[in-house]
Amino acid sequence: MGKLKKITALTLASTMILTGQSVFAETNNNNISVVVDGSELTFDTQPVIENGRVLVPFRKIFEALNCAVSYRSNGASKEVVAVNGEKFITAEIGSNTMTVDGEEIKLDAPARIDNGRTLVPLRAVSESLNADVQWNGEEKKVTINKKAGFYKISSVSNDETVKADDGTNIAYISTVYPVIEGSSDFVKKINSEYKAQAEKFVSSAKTEFVEDAKLLYKEMGSEYNPMEFTLSYEVNTNRDGVISITNFDYENTNGAHPSYSKSSRTFNMTDEKELQLIDVLVGEQEGLEQTVYDAFISYLEKNDPGLDAEAAENLGSKLNDVSWYLTDDSLVMYYNPYEIAPYTLGTPTVEIKPENEPMLNLYLSK
């Protein structure tokens, strides 16, 4: 499952606080509007202002920002977890800090529960996901803009909490998948495939691990930690008719360490085709394989002191298995953990810029 740092990151206590420098009045909290990429959000619990910060229901805002979301309750501890690609956010209810990729961020207003809904600080949460946030005091309106793209891409989120017979939480399963706007058969096919992948992820987690989770809980009792399963995604590029998306797969089943992997797909929306690496690294197959080999042998020589002839031979047998995606200005190639290197090396990754690789197609320089 996705290369994700430990999912402690996205537990943002359930309400977002707007942490701008401007201070909002504590009165007249009604009718605060929140607009994300031009669409106004509808809340079942209205946003409020506390300590000059706007707080909003966590699920609605995180889902609008393309996150896989889960709410976790363990005794007196309650927290919100949000995952967007490799970005993890966690916020504990009542705490004046949230954690983003392992780094604590101080909040002016903590996440809290209001009318049965968890509220989180809006600006802090949005900016942790690299969104731009603007406050219009006269209109009492928050405008949030994510990174602009050529095509509009929205998300569908789902989360489930699996419980033991006594009601204890034993597993959390959360997914989010992309939905590309459009009515062509090509777009519909892409969207249906991402939906099916998310549904399969949930089904597999339940089929393969829920019974194990129940047995482990019976054996360990209060020492048991709920299993975690998260599928999220990141849009790597969305420009000039090209979309590149990476899915992140994460699972923590209380083994020696969590498991993660990722998978990427790149689409030429104009020509309605899914691109292969040879479409980007133009040339003959032999030249492509040599480019991959040279790039990763150099990576391994630099990062793996134990590199030997066997490891080099293993790489040579997996040149056609390399995964890749496009950013706005580079080609990124990678292997998942264990494919060509020990787990300790994580996800071996090589980035290639057009100026450093004559074979690189002009997809990156339009």
- What was the pLDDT predicted at 154? 92
> pLDDT higher for 335 or 320?
335
The per-residue pLDDT for range 93-118, each reduced to its tens digit, is 988 889 999 899 888 888 888 888 88
| Cβ contact 36:144 at 8 Å | yes
Q: And the tokens for 297?
A: 């042998």
Instruction: Give the residue-averaged pLDDT of 83-88.
Output: 91
Quick one: which of 274, 260, 243 has its CA closest to 179?
243
pLDDT of residue 363: 67
Considering only 22-36, 79-93, 313-327, 350-364, which range has the smallest mean pLDDT?
22-36
Residue among 120, 122, 56, 124 at smallest CA distance from 94 = 120
| 27 SS3 class | coil
Give pLDDT tens digits for 268-324.
Answer: 999 999 999 988 887 777 888 898 999 999 999 898 877 777 788 888 888 889 999
Q: Rounded to whole angstroms, what are the CA distances from 120 to 17, 39, 107, 202?
A: 5, 20, 10, 27
Tell which wins on pLDDT, 319 or 199: 199
Compute the 3-state secondary structure of the chain and give helix, strand, coil in percent, each to the nearest 5: 25, 35, 35
CA distances from 182 to 177, 187, 252 (A): 16, 6, 36
- Pick the range with the lowest mean pLDDT from 41-45, 72-76, 125-129: 72-76
Give the whole-angstrom CA distance, residue 319 versus residue 334.
Answer: 11
Of 253, 285, 263, 288, nearest to 347 (Cα)?
263
Tens-digit pLDDT profile for residues 119-167: 999 988 898 888 999 998 888 899 999 887 889 999 999 999 999 999 9
At 20, the pLDDT band (50, 70, 90 cuts) reads: very low
Domains and CATH numbers, the chain: 33-145 (3.30.457.10), 153-275 (3.30.565.40), 278-364 (3.90.640.20)
Indicate the pLDDT class of residue 11, thresholds 50, 70 and 90. Answer: very low
Enumerate residues 6+ apart whose C-beta is below 8 A from 115: 45
Structure confidence at residue 342 as a pLDDT band (50, 70, 90): confident
Q: Mean pLDDT over all residues of the chain?
A: 86
Alpha carbons 44 and 303: distance in angstroms, whole number: 50
Give the pLDDT confidence score for residue 365 in this predicted structure: 54
pLDDT of residue 309: 77
Residues in the chain: 366
Taking 60 as the threshold, does the pLDDT of residue 255 lie above it?
yes
Please name every residue paired with 142 in a beta bridge, in sequence order, or none if there are none. 34, 135
Least confident of 265-269, 331-335, 350-354: 350-354
pLDDT at 72: 84
Largest Cα separation within the chain, whole Å, is 70
Mean pLDDT over 203-230 rounds to 94
> For the whole model, what pTM was predicted?
0.84
Mean pLDDT of the region 229-233: 96
> Which among 295, 300, 304, 294 has a CA at the least distance from the CA of 351?
295
